[in-house]
Amino acid sequence: MISNIEAIPAFSDNYIWILIEGNSVAVVDPGDASAVENFLSKNNLTLEAILITHHHFDHTGGILDLASKWNPKVYGPSGGHINGIDLELSENSIIKILNTEFRIFETPGHTLDHIAYYSKDIDSLFCGDTLFSGGCGRLFEGTPLQMFDSLKKFTDLPEDTRVYCTHEYTLSNLTFALEVEPDNVDLKKYFEEVSLLRDSNLISLPSSISLENKINPFLRTSIDQVKNNAENYANKKNLQPVEILAAIRDWKDNF
């Protein structure tokens, strides 16, 4: 079973998660092959699997180089549109990687092909660009309703599930979240903690489902202050939860 999970930084703010069992590893969203190769050789590891969440280049750019060198199993969304994927997954697919079971969620919103990998065995969720700590992915291809339903799949998971997102966006997300929900004490405390981490250039992830439920405005559309401020921004009354998500997504895009 996977006993260790580490982050390989890539580009300006991506993390490539590396899942380790002994000397065998899997990587999630290897946008940059050289960053992965450096980690593998430094730690004497063998790449056995690649997991892809969606088609964006910062998540897929390293697939072909890594596959030609290591011949790993390459898992990803169905549709045949991502070069190098040989095992296509869909809602409720079950896969076993490094003796650890993962279940697949289809999570359209950021892109239409987006999927996430959840393992009860290791209480971990690899959610790509769907959920970020304190935020969610931009809606490049999907609708607010699709993103709402995708996030709901995550909030239904056990509270102690660790959340491995692919970008270090936490501090800027929390700066925005405080505009939406200025009286949230958990949010204020978390902002202080993440500020300290980032001052020292330390990673803010993984998060957890319980923490995100307390601080992430995109999961808190039923909270009065989130609703009221979304309505103020949109200049409309009686917004429903999906419309609140749409309003704060638009607000964040223009923040």
Residue 23 has a CB neighbour count (10 Å cut-off) of 11
Element (H, E) at 235: none
> What is the contact mask toward Fe ion in residues 37 to 66, using x (rule: CB under 5 A)?
---------------------x--------
The C-alpha atoms of residue 27 and residue 36 are separated, in whole angstroms, by 8
106's contact among Fe ion, Zn ion, none, with CB below 5 to 8 A by partner kind, is none
Q: Going by DSSP bridges, is the β-strand pair 73-77/87-89 parallel, antiparallel, or unpaired?
A: parallel
What H or E segment, with its residue span, contains residue 89? Answer: strand 87-89
Q: Could you tell me the strand order of the sheet in which 162-165 lies?
A: 94-97, 100-106, 115-119, 124-128, 162-165, 207-208
Token digits of residue 184: 């949230």
The yes or no reply on residue 181 touching Zn ion (CB under 5 A) is: no
Residues 48-87 that bind Zn ion (CB under 5 A): 56
Contact at 8 Å (CB) between 62 and 30? Answer: yes
Check if the beta carbon of residue 92 is closer than 8 Å to that of residue 129.
no
Q: Can you tell me the distance from the alpha carbon of 171 to that of 177, in angstroms, rounded to the nearest whole number?
A: 10
Whose Cβ is closer to Fe ion: residue 61's or residue 241's? 61
Burial of 65 (0-12, 13-18, 19+ CB in 10 A): middle
Which residue's CB atom is positioned nearest to Zn ion?
A: 56
Nearest residue (CB) to Fe ion, 114 versus 220: 114
The answer to whether the bond into 217 is cis (omega within 30° of 0) is no
For Fe ion, what does the binding mask look like between residues 79 and 118, x meaning CB under 5 A? ----------------------------------------
State which residue, 32 or 129, has the beta carbon closest to Fe ion.
129
* Options 62-70, 127-135, 204-212, 233-241: segment touching Zn ion (CB under 5 A): 127-135
Least distance between Zn ion and beta carbon 216 (Å): 18
Radius of gyration (Cα) for the chain, nearest Å? 18
Smaller CB separation from Zn ion, 85 or 226: 85
Q: Is 129 in the site for Fe ion (CB under 5 A)?
A: yes
* Contacted by 153, from Fe ion, Zn ion, none: CB < 5 to 8 Å by type: none
Q: Which partner, Fe ion, Zn ion, none, binds residue 212 by CB below 5 to 8 Å per kind? A: none
Give yes or no for residue 129 binding Zn ion (CB under 5 A): yes
Shortest distance, position 54 Cβ to Fe ion, whole Å: 8
Q: What is the binding site for Zn ion (CB under 5 A)?
A: 56, 129
Q: What is the binding site for Fe ion (CB under 5 A)?
A: 58, 129
